[in-house]
Amino acid sequence: MTFYTNPESRSVVVEWLLAELEIDCTRVTLDYGTSMKAPEYLAINPFGKVPALVDGDLVIYETAAICAYLADKYSDKGLAPALDDPKRGLYYRWLFLAAGPWEAANVDRLLKVAIAPEQEMFVGYGNYNTLYQAVIKGLTEAQPYLCGAQFTAADVYVGAGILWELKMGTLQPHPEILRYVENLRLRPSLQTIAATFS
């Protein structure tokens, strides 16, 4: 497997997952604006962004997609509920909520994009406060992880997002968020990228 990365990108999420899975791969570090835009790399990811993963003939880009793929490929590591496990729906919900509406909402906050009430129906997250309260409720039910006792790739993706949002100041540090983050900080694999969120 070849992993295309940059240490100052969402690639750190995949780095955390690779550490959790205890697998290695060939890493190719790309630079913004130069090697990420080179024709050879654009043939892999036409967006010219990282991360991307090449596994044989399979090419995957988008961080959540890479996380889901790796968790399923290495299913023996237990980082995704089995396909017939009722918690699989919860796992998908968290993984793709974080990749879609939650990330969009927090990027809007970072960029100071204001969504007027009459515009809320056009954005995937609708109203930020409603989304925030739903996430808090979900984290309240997360004991200790999003899918209960099982730590999953969704925890890696959601957790990395929360850590980044806390660092950037786009996320109010609710006690449930801080409790969840403290559980994540106990994972040795997080130490591989801990400096990213300091």
Query: What's the CATH number where 96 sits?
Result: 1.20.1050.10
Q: Based on the domain organization, do 132 and 45 belong to the same domain?
A: no
Q: Are residues 71 and 137 in the same domain?
A: no
Same domain, 115 and 73: no
Domain boundary among 77, 105, 122: 77
Q: What is the CATH number of the domain that holds 27?
A: 3.40.30.10
Q: What are 148's two structure tokens?
A: 């209960």
State the pLDDT at residue 198: 66
pLDDT, residue 192, reads 77
Do 112 and 192 fall within a single domain? yes
- pLDDT, mean over the chain: 95
Residues 6+ apart with CB under 8 A from 97: 135
| Residues 93 and 65 reside in one and the same domain | no
102-106 long-range contacts, Cβ below 8 Å, gap at least 24? 102/131, 102/135, 102/158, 102/161, 103/161, 105/131, 106/161, 106/165, 106/168, 106/170, 106/171
- Residue 114: per-residue pLDDT: 93
As for how many domains the chain has, the answer is 2
Q: In terms of domains, do 103 and 60 share one? A: no
Identify the pLDDT of residue 197: 74
pLDDT (0 to 100) of residue 69: 99
Domain that holds residue 150: 86-196
Say if residue 117 is in the same domain as residue 182.
yes
Claim to verify: residue 117 and residue 189 sit in the same structural domain: yes
Low-confidence stretches of the chain (pLDDT < 70) are 198
Q: Are residues 71 and 90 in the same domain?
A: no
**pLDDT value for 195:** 75
pLDDT value of position 28: 98
> Do 15 and 108 have their domain in common?
no
* pLDDT score recorded for residue 194: 76
Whether residue 103 is found in the same domain as residue 126:
yes
